[in-house]
Amino acid sequence: MRILNKEIINKENEEVELCGWVARRRDHGKIIFIDLRDKSGVCQLVFAPSTGSGQAPSTGSGQAPSAGASTELSRMSSGQVPEINEVYKKAETLRSEWVIRIKGTVKKRPQGMENPNLFTGQYEVEVNFLEILAEAKTLPFDISTDGYEINEEIRMRYRYLDLRRERMRKNLKTRAQILKFIRDFLNNEEFVEIETPVLSKSTPEGARDYLVPSRLQPGKFYALPQSPQQYKQLLMVAGIEKYFQIAKCFRDEDTRGDRQPEFTQLDMEMSFVDENEILNLIEKLFINLIKTLYPEKKIKQIPFPRISYREAMEKHRSDKPDLRDNKNNPDELSFAFIVDFPMFEWKETEKRWDAVHHPFTKIKREKNERVEDLIERLKVQPEKLLAHQYDVVLNGFEIGGGSIRETNPKILKAVFEIMGNKIEEVEIKFGHLLEAFEYGVPPHGGIALGLDRIIAILQNEPNIREVIAFSKTGDGRDLMMNAPAEVELEQLKELHLEIKNKKSNL
């Protein structure tokens, strides 16, 4: 039965079966050395030209064979021509990235011939069986390097090859460890992980929706979620109290550099909490995550500083300040919470007020302020209102944000009106949520953390594409799958769609 390469360290003098890719081939005299790669790492295989010849001489990368008493080496040196075995003949054909299966005996490498750079570097496998499972063409680029020097579009075109490089495999493995840590942490905090729908309703949330036409309801469309915002609030109405999800989100945005049309966020919502309780929980999550998975990194300040939006803009000229002492030191982590955001911002091109976060953010009230008084202040001085909104920043990047939610339908309708919405439009787009709030809604709030950005920062990567398995270009193209792509005319007819003539735009 096949074992992983890393397991040979416990199999000395035992016969093992290994499978993997030919990472490198080295020929020394008549001896062939193969570096075999699998998901656990690399081990050295030894192919000698004849059977029954005793231990084959060992060598590390570029090293000469050992001067040990190898029968095989003695026979070759004396001019004897050993009978070439079939395994060796097959090994002579091996090339980089061929997929093979072998059987052989695990041996300790001769003293002085160990490779300290390999986990398995004190051992090698003397092969007595070889099966070629798949041959491979010459790769379009070198996968033994970090890959930064290679044109990114070429890497993305052959992403399944790019992922073979050690750096990329490490990134994906660490990403999985981070997601597992988060799940374990939140389960321990009595959160319930719940999946929310991907096919939903198009509602204004700050970016364009990706629309999905309905075949069974001609002329109507689903939308892919920009976030699970409304669903997680409805889960609070349902009495779940503590929800989280590793959620896929979709935004049809214009080209914006380090953005992806689809991204992953840690989505959370809690009932009967205030702003401080949410921020304390997030702080605890990050402190434990760094301590467990990144012990070499140092958090600059604990507890995390809490800076008002006004102070951040006046002192740092940014709402995502980089507070590190040495901005060239990637092992210094400077977290901060930015709080007290304005509730609204003026959209000059549209001549209207818009929510800085989203319309369901709770407005900070004055002491003992009545609902009617708040609504009046909302209509008269929207620019002076502050919100229970908070962002999480790390080393100059926004990595998350959230708010305490407003649940009073009267206040919500007034907010939508200030933003230029007609009441009938609000009922069409958000009526289901407003109605739900009439059936006993608990006070609640939440936060969403951008996992792609967080992982990229912790892995010291220059952008999020380095920590996403199958990433897209800045303008949303999948170069590997050649998407987006045209579809058959019959599919369009079934969906009651017609493509306008591109030239005439008719």
Backbone angles phi, psi at 35, to 5 degrees: -90, 115
Give the pLDDT confidence score for residue 63 in this predicted structure.
43
Domain regions of the chain by residue span: 5-134, 147-273+446-496
Give the pLDDT confidence score for residue 272 in this predicted structure.
98
Instruction: Provide the 8-state DSSP code for 152.
Output: H
- Enclosing H/E stretch for 87: helix 86-91
pTM assigned to the model: 0.90
Lookup: tokens for 481: 């799958």
Asked whether 57 and 66 are in contact (CB, 8 A), the reply is: yes
Lookup: tokens for 335: 């977290």
Return averaged pLDDT per consecutive 10 residues of the chain, 506 residues in all: 97 97 93 96 94 44 39 48 80 97 96 93 97 97 96 96 97 98 98 97 80 94 94 98 97 80 97 97 98 98 97 96 93 97 91 89 93 93 95 97 95 90 84 93 97 97 96 92 94 92 56
Helices (H), 116-223: 152-157, 159-162, 166-188
Nearest one of 283, 269, 370 to 335, comparing CA atoms: 283
The Cα–Cα gap between 183 and 289 comes to: 11
Give the pLDDT confidence score for residue 471 in this predicted structure.
94
Give the pLDDT confidence score for residue 136 in this predicted structure.
98
Q: State in words which class domain 147-273+446-496 has.
A: alpha beta
Fold of 5-134: OB fold (Dihydrolipoamide Acetyltransferase, E2P) (2.40.50)
Give the pLDDT confidence score for residue 76 in this predicted structure.
47
The Cα–Cα gap between 426 and 414 comes to: 11
Mapping DSSP onto H, E and C, the string for 11-32 reads CCCCEEEEEEEEEEEEEECCEE
The answer to whether the bond into 116 is cis (omega within 30° of 0) is no
Instruction: Provide the 8-state DSSP code for 55.
Output: S
Give the pLDDT confidence score for residue 262 in this predicted structure.
94
Cα 215 to Cα 219, 489, 494, 497: the distances in Å are 8, 14, 6, 10
Collapsing DSSP states into helix, strand and coil, what is residue 282?
helix
Give the pLDDT confidence score for residue 75 in this predicted structure.
45
Lookup: tokens for 420: 């230029």
Asked whether 84 and 50 are in contact (CB, 8 A), the reply is: yes
- In single-letter form, the type of residue at position 184 comes to D
